[in-house]
Amino acid sequence: MDIEKDKKNGYEKRSKILGWMQKIDPWSVGFYAFIALVLIICIFPFMWTFLVSLTPYSELVEFHWLPSWATSEWYKLVLFDNPFLLYIGNSFLVAFTTTLFCIFLGSLASYALSRLKFKGKAAVLIVVLLIVMFPQITIVGPLADILTGLNLINTYLALILPYTMLCLPLTIWILTTFFNSIPKDLENAARVDGCTRMGALTKIIFPLAAPGIVTTGILVFIFAWNEFMFANTFITEPELYTITVGIANFGGRYTTAWGELAGAAIIVTVPLIILVLIFQRKIVQGLTAGGVKG
Amino acid sequence: MANVKLINVSKRWAEVVGVKHLDLEIEDGEFLALLGPSGCGKSTALRIIAGLEEPSEGEVYIGDEMVNGLSPKDRDVAMVFQSYAIYPHMTVRGNMAFPLKLRKFDREEIDKRVEEAAEMLGITDLLDRKPKELSGGQRQRVALGRAIVRKPVLFLMDEPLSNLDAMLRTRMRAELKKLHELLGKTTIYVTHDQVEAMTMADRIVLLKGGEVQQIGMPMELYEHPGNIFVAGFIGSPSMNFLQGELRLDDGVLKFDTESFSWEPSGIGERKMKKLKEWADKKVTLGIRPENLTINREKRSNAIETEIYLVEPLGSELIVTLSVGGGRVIVRASPDLRVKEGQKAFVIVNPEEAHFFEGGGEAIL
């Protein structure tokens, strides 16, 4: 009996492998090869930085695919010999507040744009988009003037306000599409059921728009976290440096601290990766929303 | 008390008119259908009553209270939507409890009412499911349940059965009617399906282009359509319309078309007298498919036609005939043996014949 069974199993296994081999077609091989190529191109800089961050000083200036031994030197230097944690704290504060501002203002604006009938709605959306079309460098000067006038240079607000301004268009566009995809009847039902307009918004629409809100929130957070030019211009007090400016100021006047830079870059990226991984499912939902009616 | 009164209610947007000068009185406990093709303003009228839309002019009363300007939540009405509009992020229980929670009912009362309604609708097993796990029919029940638990003074239903498949729609139709009898609450039901309106409603308001065409009990609309639109909208298959002219020939009234002449004899003195007033004028003859009889042999006052198409439905035969350039549909007995291409002689039941003047208004 058992032998028979084994035979049968063996036969099934063989036929499975044969089936597999038959299923491999050149198109799908090419397809996956292409995806692999794209992935490598995308990931390479990050991997390279990661490798550099582990490379000991003696091997830094020559070319090596892999360091002969890994060092944690750079990480120690970054974390303990620099006010790195302070910078991270600053960055977090700025990015987090920007995200809150954007989500709050953006969702209210988007809701209005999505639900209310008024003249020039399309025009408003276009104008909103115009804001992000100016190269950032062209608005640094005017912004600096405004911020100086408002006495905001060297405060967190000097970053939070411009970031919010720059991120709101994206927020509004994504959330407007999102709100559009939520059937109006749900809101009508909520209002007949006993909600005010605001109640319908917070009890029904926002929970349903959560994927969109999380997605935009993360995009805004990443933008604010990574921004360098404004941070480098509007903040001159080292205590208020965000992480990007902090990293740029590593090392002395005559040397570039490659190791520290690499280490810091890795440490700074990790929170973002964790953030994205946590909310991955929501983000996918958020980016694909509107395609299929729930 | 929940009679509803609309006085001269209109709704206009920038260029579109939703409802024009609508006057309507709905009695307590009545099941009223707002019927009409899409874009006729029936949904707008319902939304005005719900408070989701403010009328451009006119007054709306629920009970004795004028509700203009009152937000939907303060009107004590419940609404069921075509898209079900159940909240995807809540369970069935959560959905049904939602309006009660908003009204600050205590937990016990909420549980009691939800269970009651769920039992009434046969969805007790589904209470802890999420909407996406439910079929269309089940979702519809949940939406109904959410309306029922409120015990509102007025039910508003906006095409609640339109998204269901045909079989389920027929079943839910009967259930809704029973439910209305059981609850006895005033119900305003919007539909584009004349069968739903005919079978469920106490009275039908037929709308077109934002204007009332006719208000009446289902059979009134069926038997005495006020104009050609009502005549064509109510009944399936639709009433046949034939263009022609009324002529007096030696004192005998005839309906003449290019291809035939028919004598509307036997319709009674009074009707005949009225018809004669329209002699020498263009009129439209309207006759329902069930009021035509097909004969294989020539008969007096029969219209000669040719069989164009035969559709057996089992219980009856739908026969399409060519008359002149037009087509006429006849509902016939399934034993009728006819073939496409044959000649057929059609007898019109004169008592059921409708005449409409050029503008479409009924003459008789």
Closest CA to B62 of B45, B83, B77, B41: B77
Instruction: Measure the CA–CA gap between A228 and A197, rounded to whole angstroms.
Output: 40
| Same domain? A174 vs A231 | yes
pLDDT at B68: 93
Query: What six digits make up the tokens of A179?
Result: 């709100």
Distance from the A293 Cα atom to the nearest Cα atom in chain B, whole angstroms: 11
Lowest mean pLDDT among A59-68, A177-186, B30-39, B242-251: A59-68
**β B77-80/B154-158 pair status:** parallel
Residue A7 confidence class, pLDDT cut points 50, 70, 90: low
Answer with the residue of higher pLDDT: A11 or B234: B234
Mean pLDDT of chain A: 84
Local confidence band at A75 (pLDDT 50, 70, 90 cut-offs) = confident
Q: Give the CA angle between residues A168, A174, A117 to the nearest 5°.
A: 90
In whole angstroms, give the CA distance from residue B254 to residue B280.
10
B87 vs A: CB within 8 A: yes
Please give the residue of chain A at the shortest CA–CA distance from B150.
A193
Q: Residue B292 — φ and ψ, nearest 5°?
A: -120, 140
DSSP 8-state symbol, A204: I
Q: Is residue A277 part of a domain?
A: yes
The whole-chain average pLDDT of chain B stands at 92
Beta-carbon-side half-sphere exposure of residue A258 (alpha carbons within 13 Å): 14
- Contact yes or no for B82 and A185 at CB 8 A: yes
Binned at pLDDT 50, 70 and 90, residue A293 comes out as very low
Is any Cβ of chain A less than 8 angstroms from the Cβ of B52? yes
- Looking at the structure, do residues A50 and A146 belong to the same domain, yes or no? no
User: Confidence class of residue A116 from pLDDT cuts 50, 70 and 90?
Assistant: confident
A3 belongs to a structural domain: no
Q: Are residues A101 and A23 in the same domain?
A: no
pLDDT at A284 over 90: no
If pLDDT is split at 50, 70 and 90, which confidence band does A14 have? low
Question: What is the DSSP code string of A23-73?
Answer: H--HHHHHHHHHHHHHHHHHHHHHHHHHHHHHS-HHHHTS--SS-SS---H
CATH number for position A188 = 1.10.3720.10
pLDDT band at A288 (very low <50, low <70, confident <90, very high): low
Among B13, B77, B87, select the one facing A192 at the smallest CB separation: B77
Q: Shortest CB distance from A185 goes to which of B73, B81, B150?
A: B81
Whole-angstrom CA distances from A42 to A48, A220, B76, B101, B346 are: 11, 21, 58, 51, 80
Inter-chain contact B132–A294, Cβ cutoff 8 Å?
A: yes
Our count of domains for chain A comes to: 2
**Contact B331/B318 with Cβ under 8 angstroms?**
yes
Asked whether residue A263 is domain-assigned, the answer is yes
Query: What confidence category does residue A13 fall into, taking pLDDT thresholds of 50, 70 and 90?
Result: low
* Number of A–B residue contacts, CB under 8 Å: 63
Look at residue A294 in the predicted model and tell me its pLDDT.
Answer: 38
Residue A204 has pLDDT above 50, yes or no: yes
Q: Based on C-alpha coordinates, what's the Rg of chain B?
A: 25
Separation in Å, CA of A142 to nearest CA in chain B: 41
Per-residue pLDDT, averaged over B96-108, amounts to 94
Residue from B11, B13, B87 whose CB has the most chain A CBs within 10 Å, to mutate: B87
Please tell me the distance from the alpha carbon of residue A269 to that of residue A276, in angstroms, as a whole number: 11
- Residue A275 belongs to a domain: yes
Band (pLDDT 50/70/90 cuts) for residue A66 is confident
More confident residue, A250 or A238: A238
Does A57 share its domain with A87? no
- Contact yes or no for A294 and B88 at CB 8 A: yes
A51, A72, B114 from A60: Cα distances, Å:
10, 14, 71
Enter the ipTM.
Answer: 0.84
SS3 content of chain A, % helix, strand, coil (to 5): 80, 0, 20
Task: Give the Cα separation of B50 and B40 in Å (integer).
Answer: 18
The whole-number pLDDT of residue A290 equals 41
pLDDT in tens, B69-84: 999 999 999 999 998 8
pLDDT at A289 over 70: no
Q: Do B81 and A199 touch (CB under 8 A)?
A: no
A119-173 pLDDT tens trace: 888 898 899 888 888 888 888 999 999 999 999 999 999 999 999 999 999 899 9
A178 in Cβ contact with A286 (< 8 Å) = yes
Say which of A189, A207, A208 has its CB closest to residue B81: A189
Of A117, A194, A204, the CB nearest to B87: A204
Q: Which residues contact B187 (CB under 8 A, 6 or more apart)?
A: B30, B31, B32, B154, B155, B156, B157, B180
- One domain for residues A224 and A159: yes
Going by pLDDT thresholds of 50, 70 and 90, the confidence category of residue B343 is very high
Q: Write down the pLDDT at residue A21.
A: 66
Q: What is the pLDDT of residue A120?
A: 87
What is the SS3 assignment for B55? coil
CB B207 within 8 A of CB B45: yes
Q: Is residue A4 part of a domain?
A: no
Strands B31-35 and B17-26: unpaired
* Residue A167 is assigned to a structural domain of this protein: yes
Q: What is the pLDDT of residue A136?
A: 85
**Domain end marker among A20, A42, A74:** A74
Structure tokens at A228: 């360098």
Residues A35 and A138 in one domain: no
CB B325 within 8 A of CB B257: no
Model confidence pLDDT, tens digit, residues B297-311 = 888 899 999 999 999
The kind and range of the H/E element at B167 are helix B166-183
Peptide bond into B334 cis (omega under 30): no
Residues of B in contact with A117 (CB under 8 A): 13
Q: Among A192, A195, A196, A293, which would you mutate to test the B interface (most chain B Cβ atoms within 10 Å of its Cβ)?
A: A192
What does the H/E/C string look like for A116-184? CCCCCHHHHHHHHHHHCCCCHHHHHHHHHHHHHHCCCCCCCHHHHHHHHHHHHHHHHHHHHHHHHCCCH
Is a pLDDT exceeding 60 seen at residue A1? no
Interface contact A192-B82, CB threshold 8 A: no
Domain membership flag for residue A68: yes
* Domain with A154 in it: 80-289
Average pLDDT of the segment spanning A259-276: 86
Between residues 126 and 165 of chain B, which touch chain A (CB distance below 8 Å)? 132, 146, 150, 156
Single-letter amino acid, residue A100? L
CB of B104 less than 8 A from some CB of A: no
**Per-residue pLDDT for B175 more than 70?**
yes
Model pLDDT, residue B14: 78
Residue of chain B whose Cα is closest to the Cα of A206: B89
Q: B156: which chain A residues are within 8 Å (Cβ-Cβ)? A: 192
Please check whether residues A24 and A143 belong to one and the same domain. no
Find the helix or strand (DSSP H, E) in which A282 lies: helix A280-288
A74, A98, A122 - which closes a domain: A74
d(CA B75, CA A148) in angstroms, rounded, equals 54
> Based on the domain organization, do A241 and A135 belong to the same domain?
yes
What is the pLDDT, as a whole number, of residue B101?
A: 94
Contacts of B162 in chain A (CB under 8 A): none
Residues A118, A192, single domain; the answer is yes
pLDDT at A8 over 80: no
Chain B residues closer than 8 Å to A193 by CB: 73, 78, 98-99, 102, 146, 150
Q: What amino acid occupies position B321?
A: L
B150 interaction partners in chain A (CB closer than 8 Å)? 193
Domain assignment present for A1 = no
Instruction: Name the residue among B259, B230, B228, B234 with its Cα closest to residue B245.
Output: B259
Return the minimum-mean-pLDDT range out of A202-206, B284-288, B328-332: A202-206
A126 & A234 share domain: yes
Whether residues A194 and A240 share a domain: the answer is yes
Question: Given this model, what pLDDT does residue A249 score?
Answer: 81
Q: Report yes or no: B73 at the A interface, CB cutoff 8 Å.
A: yes
| Residue after which a domain boundary falls, among A30, A55, A74 | A74
| SS3 assignment, position A221 | helix
Q: Are residues A105 and A218 in the same domain?
A: yes
CB contact under 8 Å between B150 and A193, yes or no, is yes
When pLDDT is cut at 50, 70 and 90, the band that residue A10 belongs to is low
Give B227's strand partners: B361
Q: What is the CA radius of gyration of chain A?
A: 26
